[in-house]
Amino acid sequence: MYSYEQMLTELELLKNTYPNLMILQEAGRSLDGRKIMEVVIGNPDTSRHILIQSTIHGREYMNTRLAMKQLGETLKKYTYGTYHENSYESLFEQVCFHILPMTNPDGVTISQRGLKGIRNASLRSILETCRQNDLGRVDDEISADMYWKRWKANARGVDLNRNFNSGWKAYQGSVLPSFERYKGEWPESEPEVQTILKVAENNRTVCTISYHSSGEVIYWDYGSTEETLEADRQLAKLVSHITGYNMESSVQSAQDAAGCSDYFVLEKNIPSVTIENGKADCPLPMEEFGPIWKANDNLWPALAEFMLQDV
Ligand SMILES: [Zn+2]
């Protein structure tokens, strides 16, 4: 299991190893006081900023392990590595990546350690209520252990990927706070969502990638038109080509409104795709990491190269 603490330790280690190649900063805080970390690599003065956010759903923490390996490999290759004909250095000098390796650290902790992972007593009591609410709704037979393992939401039962201000009003989902699909009391009510928006708005964000699990598919086409639709198609084609996952239109599924990619495409005209890694139900078994790494190994340099093509 890849934990929040392990991520913090590895981030510090990378920062100490490559002090001139990365900026490490706290972009926000979760409800239970965990840091939402942001890594910046590339050239902060460029006009092309790329936002990569992983693990907005607690049980999908395999994607944090992936983001950390992507980061470590990129830093290792930064000075001498090449991708196609370009050196890493020249590619990353013209773009800037903002990586949020774990946007929902409380959700991850709940999925890995259950209720005892949460320090704040009033949050624990909200979580107990979630479980009571869900008992009638989900499978009655589910054990407490299994219930927390499958946790997707934040520490007060809001599904962060249904809390964005795009189709929020129409989205139904769960009526009460729950392990999944409760959209919150109002759009952008949650600190984790506010953090993602702040990172995107502080920079000239030209595309966003959201990492989820599972399905081995690239979701795109969130209902945009014309230029945004075309730009989103080009981005999705690249990501599909690199990962080997098929592209799937999201336009039909009103079930999945108010998500991060929906918001950036529809409200900000920023091309965005969602990558669903892995095959099994979450949390994914460790054996899946090998194929996931293989699919995503070259994605960052490929994205950098792609961004330079359409100047
Ligand atoms: Zn997800």
Nearest-CA neighbor of 22 among 106, 99, 127, 108? 99
Give me ligand 1 centre to Cα 311, in Å: 32
Q: How far is the CA of 213 from the centre of ligand 1 (A)?
A: 6
Measured in Å, residue 45 CA sits from the centre of ligand 1 at 32
CA of 282 to the centre of ligand 1 (A): 9
Q: What whole-number distance in Å separates Cα of residue 189 and Cα of residue 209? A: 22
pLDDT in tens, the chain (311 residues): 899 999 999 999 999 999 999 999 999 999 999 999 999 999 999 999 999 999 999 999 999 999 999 999 999 999 999 999 999 999 999 999 999 999 999 999 999 999 999 999 999 999 999 999 998 765 556 788 999 999 999 999 999 999 999 999 999 999 999 999 999 999 999 999 999 999 999 999 999 999 999 999 999 999 999 999 999 999 999 999 999 999 999 886 656 789 999 999 999 999 999 999 999 999 999 999 999 999 999 999 999 999 998 64
Chain centroid to Cα 247, Å, comes to 18
17 CA distance to ligand 1 middle (Å)? 32
What is residue 255's predicted lDDT score, i.e. its pLDDT?
A: 66
CB 32 within 8 A of CB 118: yes
Find the 106 Cα to ligand 1 centroid distance in Å. Answer: 15
Q: How far is the CA of 287 from the centre of ligand 1 (A)?
A: 19
Six-digit token string for 216: 């081995």
Centroid of ligand 1 to alpha carbon of 60 (angstroms) = 6
The domain that contains 48 carries what CATH number? 3.40.630.10
- Is residue 216 a part of any domain in this protein? yes
Q: How far is the CA of 259 from the centre of ligand 1 (A)?
A: 10
CA of 260 to the centre of ligand 1 (A): 10
| pLDDT the model gives residue 232 | 96
> What separation in Å is there between the alpha carbon of 67 and the centre of ligand 1?
15
Instruction: Measure 143 CA to ligand 1 centroid, in angstroms.
Output: 22
**What 3-state class would DSSP assign to 36?**
strand
Note the pLDDT of residue 137.
67
Check if the beta carbon of residue 220 is closer than 8 Å to that of residue 232. Answer: yes
* Beta strand pairing call for 272-277 and 35-42: unpaired
Residue-range definition of the domain harbouring residue 48: 4-114+190-309
Ligand 1 centroid to 225 CA: how many Å?
Answer: 25
Q: State in Å: Cα 202 to ligand 1 middle.
A: 25
**CA–CA–CA angle 93, 101, 237 (5° rounding):** 65
pLDDT of residue 138: 59
Compute, in angstroms, the gap from residue 169 CA to the centroid of ligand 1: 20
| pLDDT on residue 246 | 98
Total structural domains in the chain? 1
Distance (angstroms) between ligand 1 centre and the Cα of 171 equals: 16
* Ligand 1 center–CA 152 separation, angstroms: 7
Note the pLDDT of residue 251: 83
* Model pLDDT, residue 199: 98
Distance (Å) from CA 309 to ligand 1 centroid? 30
Give the pLDDT of residue 60: 98
Tell me the two tokens of residue 204.
Answer: 């000239």
- Counted residue by residue, the chain has a size of 311
Q: What is the pLDDT of residue 142?
A: 76
CB 258 within 8 A of CB 195: no
Q: Which residues contact 282 (CB under 8 A, 6 or more apart)?
A: 57, 59, 60, 62, 150, 213, 214
Say how many Å lie between the CA of residue 12 and the centre of ligand 1.
Answer: 27
Tell me how far the alpha carbon of residue 173 lies from the centroid of ligand 1, in angstroms. Answer: 15
Cα(185) to ligand 1 centroid in Å equals 20
